[in-house]
Structure 1
Amino acid sequence: MRAVRPVAVVQGVLALVAMLLLVQLFVRSDMSVLLVAENSHSAKPLMYKIAGAWGNHEGSMLLWVTILGVAGAAVALLERGLARPTLIATLGAQAAIALGFYAFLLFSSNPFARIDPAPADGNGLNPLLQDPGLAFHPPTLYIGYVGISIAFSFAVGAMITRDVGPAFARAMRPWVLGAWIFLTLGITAGSYWAYYELGWGGWWFWDPVENASLMPWLAATALLHSVTVLATRDGLRAWTLMLAVVAFSMSMIGTFLVRSGILTSVHAFAVDPTRGSFILALLAIYIGGALLLFALRVGTVRAGTTFDFVSREGALVANNLLLTVILGVVLIGTLYP
């Protein structure tokens, strides 16, 4: 068990090295790499060469797992408020998430696949993506998604060890707040980019992939309020755990929608059903496992402090219910057609 922290740190460092190597290949215009040949050109400005590394399915997934690994390393290095068994379980849950996406990259989305013979030059970046927004929008969204995955791992760790209380909530809250901030920035930047790039005539078009980023934001907003009540008043224990699972499930559903081709969108990264099936399997494993664990553990979670309905905490509960209803409406409206 002593190796848990070092392993988490090493995983994060190796993932970061892999991402930096991919960026270097784009900067050097190494056309022997299939991803570079298909998404870059030697004459492109440096900014678009760098951003082009994640302006495609494979590169964006590598960025996703890089942030995931670095975040896990940050938890291992910085978290001191959790009991050791809970921290170990949390890091284990985060490593399990990372392992699934490493397998996804390795078996279906290898960003380092080679092409022989190498072309003289590349196809260039998609014209719609040749915008400064590409350098800002995807990374901020992914940081938000990963922040939610950390909250999910905290919840799973707390359920495994039955250590659900204010200390757990105080450890989770900064990650939820960070996820909410970055999701807000990413969604705002994306809506502005779509406004002037696509000419939709508005800031929001209810595109399926736009909704895929809105749903985790709604869940994260509810979770942020709930975890605050748990941290300060020791209330809403079971509800906070469930919201953490729901928030991460919305992130996974968003990833599935963007990369499966099941819904048509100008924002979609891929239309490969095989990749979509892989992500759907991961979603079933992670979310199904977490819900099963919740069902087994919820009876052992103490109710915590109670409070009057007409109170600050009662208002936060009402806020949570409203956000949950809105989330349900958006989810049904996105998937139903």
Structure 2
Amino acid sequence: MIAELGHFALALALALALAQTVVPLWGAARHDARLMAAAGPLAFGHLLACAAGFAALLVAFAVNDTSVVNVVQNSHSAKPMLYKLAGAWGNHEGSMVLWVLILALCGGAVAGFGRDLPTTLKARVLGVLGLVAVGFMAFILATSNPFGRVWPPAPDGQGLNPVLQDPGLAFHPPLLYLGYVGFAVTFAFAVAALLEGRVDAAWGRWVRPWALAAWSFLTLGIALGSWWAYYELGWGGYWFWDPVENASLLPWLAGTALLHSAVVVEKREALKVWTVLLALLAFGFSLLGTFLVRSGVLNSVHAFANDPERGVFILALLLFYIGGAFALFAWRGPAMAPTGMFAPLSREGGLVLNNLLLCSAAAVVLAGTLWPMFADLLFGQKISVGPPFFNTAILPLTVPLVLAMAAGPLLPWKRAKLWPVLQRLWWAALGAAAALLLCLAFAGWRVGPALGFGAALWLILGAAADIADRIALFRHPRFLHLGAAWSRAKGLPRAAWGAAMAHAGLGVTLLGVAGMGLATDNLSALRPGQSVTLGGYEWRLDKVEDAIGPNWSARRATVTVSRNGATVTVLHPERRFFPVGRTTTTEAAIETGLSGDLYAVMGEEQDGATVLRLHHNLLAPWIWLGAVLMALGGAISLTDRRIRVAAPATKRATAMAAKA
């Protein structure tokens, strides 16, 4: 009965999404206030129906209802409850229900928090979100029904893929989808602006918080996925330029450019056409990622489905939404001429450079990801584009981007001079140069990591220089006047603190990346009592024994790591066997510290010896610490009332005060 209720809720959600599309858009075209006013209630109704459908799916997994095909294929009675629930979205059908639920949440958020939006714009935004929901609800009901029945019920389920039975991956998809689908809101604002033929400073202010929220969630989602791959897959790395990894990076790059471009629209009413284009691209890349994961064109541990028919359906949706939006852009975009003018050397110019470099990086990633598929399709050639290509192609774009990131916030609007900015960054440049030279001197003249350390210090100290300049820390006649600086710091907008934290967070991530460039590893076959030396530590295999888990059995090694005769830690890497599905996985054992990770992976056993792959990963945790700081910077910026409150509300309040 629960499954039928869930299926009915999804059908009702489709009907409400269709009404949410037609009624407000027709009302906006006819300037009918009553029809436009219906957009909010319809969006809330659509949200409730999607939530009911998703709740029914969670119940089916929680009680292990083996009369539901989706539960049989992706769950098992012996699984812990967390992974039973995670199994609801750890598959293609369930993940699509989560996708449309988050889309409905976005529509409900626009309806609830967009009270200051002009009625016509709000109606069009909600109508476009409804149109997106219609396509994906139809896709679920036509090709991906999560509530399909099987009779007679199976004795038990087949279990979730063991590599997905992990807390990190349980929360990775929801965060990633909040980022992906969050850009649907900026897409809807862009299409609504094209329909109205008007983009102004108020539009830029309305778009910014949605872009910032989506970007923050996507940052966390990518970081969590990277962290999961690092400790769960047992290969010791954090990013492999896997096509599905790249599919998540593309909207992040476009979204980062959109964030900075929207600032120029809000402050100077320039780059309007470009910002609308970025809003379309960010969501277009999100849909492209959805297509790649579910079409079967890629073989990846991240892929949900291998069904060309579903892939064709999603490709049709991609062409309809993005192709239609770009056709509308080609028609209406030229009419939205920019009004703000600025010199090349200015904060606006710095943000333009930021956009060009980010979009160039996105173009490189897109070409490297899609070209192997096109080569196979057009020429029948099997080629591989891997880390060497991406690392070589991205580096020339990253260097000027990092240099501009520290200098850009210090540039004044409209027109600037370079020398005053460089004077305020001299100590950041000194710190970066010192980090680079020290790394070259003590790390064997390895240029890549040295550049990474220099760039990291440049960004971190540049963010500190931005805050110091805003609070005039070093401009007082007494050079350092803490009392006056503290007073200014307390009044500094939260958006300024958030932006500086996000820039510094990227610097912290670069510290981790540079440290990983100095990582060392060792592959050895050891018998109990034998040891190897790696990274200044002695790694001794003490024993190998059996272990039993809730739905798996394992062989567990005990590895003692010592330094100068003193025990540092004891690691327990495992090889787990899951009887349901007859799958073997590796569980890395990691001792994490601020200086880096001690990382051990257990391999095969043969003739009394056990294969161990050992890593000493310098500063590895800083990669994900930096990502958390970036997302936290976005969250702090969102608490700034100047970002959350629409410009027209302020103007109305000012006008009312003037009348009084």
TM-score range, shorter chain: over 0.9
Match for residue 296 of structure 2?
Answer: 261
Larger of the two Rg values belongs to structure:
2
1:94 lines up with 2:125 in the alignment: no
Which amino acid in structure 1 is aligned with residue 204 of structure 2?
A: A
Give the alignment partner of residue 189 of structure 2, picking from 143, 154, 163. Answer: 154
**Larger relative contact order (CA 8 Å, sep ≥ 6):** 1
1:299 lines up with 2:334 in the alignment: yes
Instruction: Give the distance between the partners of 1:292 and 1:280, measured in 2 at CA.
Output: 17
Match for residue 333 of structure 1?
Answer: 368
Which amino acid in structure 2 is aligned with residue 59 of structure 1?
A: G
Give the alignment partner of residue 140 of structure 2, picking from 93, 101, 105. Answer: 105
Moved more, 10-19 or 300-309: 300-309
Which amino acid in structure 2 is aligned with residue 283 of structure 1?
A: L
Which amino acid in structure 2 is aligned with residue 323 of structure 1?
A: L
Q: Does the 8 Å CA contact 1:15/1:70 hold for their aligned counterparts? A: no
Match for residue 191 of structure 1?
Answer: 226
Which amino acid in structure 1 is aligned with residue 147 of structure 2?
A: F
How far the C-alpha of 1:299 sits from its partner, in A, is 2.2
Instruction: Give the distance between the partners of 2:250 and 2:118, measured in 1 at CA.
Output: 32
How far the C-alpha of 1:310 sits from its partner, in A, is 0.4
1:34 lines up with 2:65 in the alignment: no
1:136 lines up with 2:171 in the alignment: yes
Which amino acid in structure 1 is aligned with residue 195 of structure 2?
A: I
1:211 lines up with 2:246 in the alignment: yes
Counterparts in 2 of 1:13-24, with a 5 A limit?
A: 13-24=48-59
Match for residue 270 of structure 1?
Answer: 305
Which amino acid in structure 2 is aligned with residue 157 of structure 1?
A: A
TM-score calculated relative to the size of structure 1:
0.98
Instruction: Give the distance between the partners of 1:17 and 1:165, measured in 2 at CA.
Output: 38
1:44 lines up with 2:79 in the alignment: yes
Q: Which has the higher strand share?
A: 2
Give the alignment partner of residue 285 of structure 1, picking from 308, 312, 320. Answer: 320
Q: Does the 8 Å CA contact 2:169/2:224 hold for their aligned counterparts? A: no
Match for residue 466 of structure 2?
Answer: none
Q: Does the 8 Å CA contact 2:169/2:225 hold for their aligned counterparts? A: no
Give the alignment partner of residue 67 of structure 1, picking from 93, 96, 102. Answer: 102
Partner of 1:101, secondary structure, is helix
Match for residue 260 of structure 2?
Answer: 225
Instruction: Give the distance between the partners of 2:94 and 2:156, measured in 1 at CA.
Output: 19
Which amino acid in structure 1 is aligned with residue 358 of structure 2?
A: L
Instruction: Give the distance between the partners of 1:315 and 1:113, measured in 2 at CA.
Output: 54
Give the alignment partner of residue 116 of structure 2, picking from 59, 77, 81. Answer: 81
1:243 lines up with 2:284 in the alignment: no
How far the C-alpha of 1:42 sits from its partner, in A, is 1.4
How far the C-alpha of 1:263 sits from its partner, in A, is 1.6
How far the C-alpha of 1:135 sits from its partner, in A, is 2.1
Instruction: Give the distance between the partners of 1:16 and 1:127, measured in 2 at CA.
Output: 28
Partner of 2:107, secondary structure, is helix
Q: Does the 8 Å CA contact 1:26/1:52 hold for their aligned counterparts? A: yes
Post-superposition, which runs of at least 4 consecutive aligned residues in structure 1 deviate over 3 A? none
Instruction: Give the distance between the partners of 1:34 and 1:254, measured in 2 at CA.
Output: 26
Q: Which has the higher helix share?
A: 1
After superposition, the C-alpha distances for 1:36-73 in whole angstroms (9 at most, x for unaligned) are: 11111112111111111000000001000100011101
Partner of 2:283, secondary structure, is helix
Partner of 1:336, secondary structure, is helix
Partner of 2:67, secondary structure, is coil
Counterparts in 2 of 1:161-172, with a 5 A limit?
A: 161-172=196-207
Q: Does the 8 Å CA contact 2:294/2:310 hold for their aligned counterparts? A: yes
How far the C-alpha of 1:82 sits from its partner, in A, is 2.4
1:118 lines up with 2:166 in the alignment: no
How far the C-alpha of 1:80 sits from its partner, in A, is 2.5
Which amino acid in structure 2 is aligned with residue 164 of structure 1?
A: V
Q: Does the 8 Å CA contact 1:260/1:271 hold for their aligned counterparts? A: yes
Match for residue 53 of structure 1?
Answer: 88
Instruction: Give the distance between the partners of 2:336 and 2:118, measured in 1 at CA.
Output: 17
Q: Does the 8 Å CA contact 2:169/2:228 hold for their aligned counterparts? A: no
Q: Does the 8 Å CA contact 1:237/1:302 hold for their aligned counterparts? A: yes
Q: Aligned residue pairs: how many?
A: 337
User: Over aligned residues, Cα RMSD in angstroms?
Assistant: 0.9
TM-score calculated relative to the size of structure 2:
0.51
How far the C-alpha of 1:86 sits from its partner, in A, is 1.1
Gaps of 5+ in 1: none
Instruction: Give the distance between the partners of 1:178 and 1:277, measured in 2 at CA.
Output: 31
Which amino acid in structure 2 is aligned with residue 264 of structure 1?
A: N
How far the C-alpha of 1:109 sits from its partner, in A, is 0.4
Match for residue 5 of structure 1?
Answer: 40
Give the alignment partner of residue 216 of structure 2, picking from 181, 187, 195. Answer: 181
Instruction: Give the distance between the partners of 2:149 and 2:92, measured in 1 at CA.
Output: 16
Moved more, 160-169 or 288-297: 160-169
How far the C-alpha of 1:20 sits from its partner, in A, is 1.1
Which amino acid in structure 1 is aligned with residue 256 of structure 2?
A: T
Q: Does the 8 Å CA contact 1:86/1:163 hold for their aligned counterparts? A: no
After superposition, the C-alpha distances for 1:89-132 in whole angstroms (9 at most, x for unaligned) are: 11111100000000000000000111111011111111010000
Which amino acid in structure 1 is aligned with residue 138 of structure 2?
A: A
Instruction: Give the distance between the partners of 1:159 and 1:209, measured in 2 at CA.
Output: 31
Q: Does the 8 Å CA contact 2:164/2:170 hold for their aligned counterparts? A: no
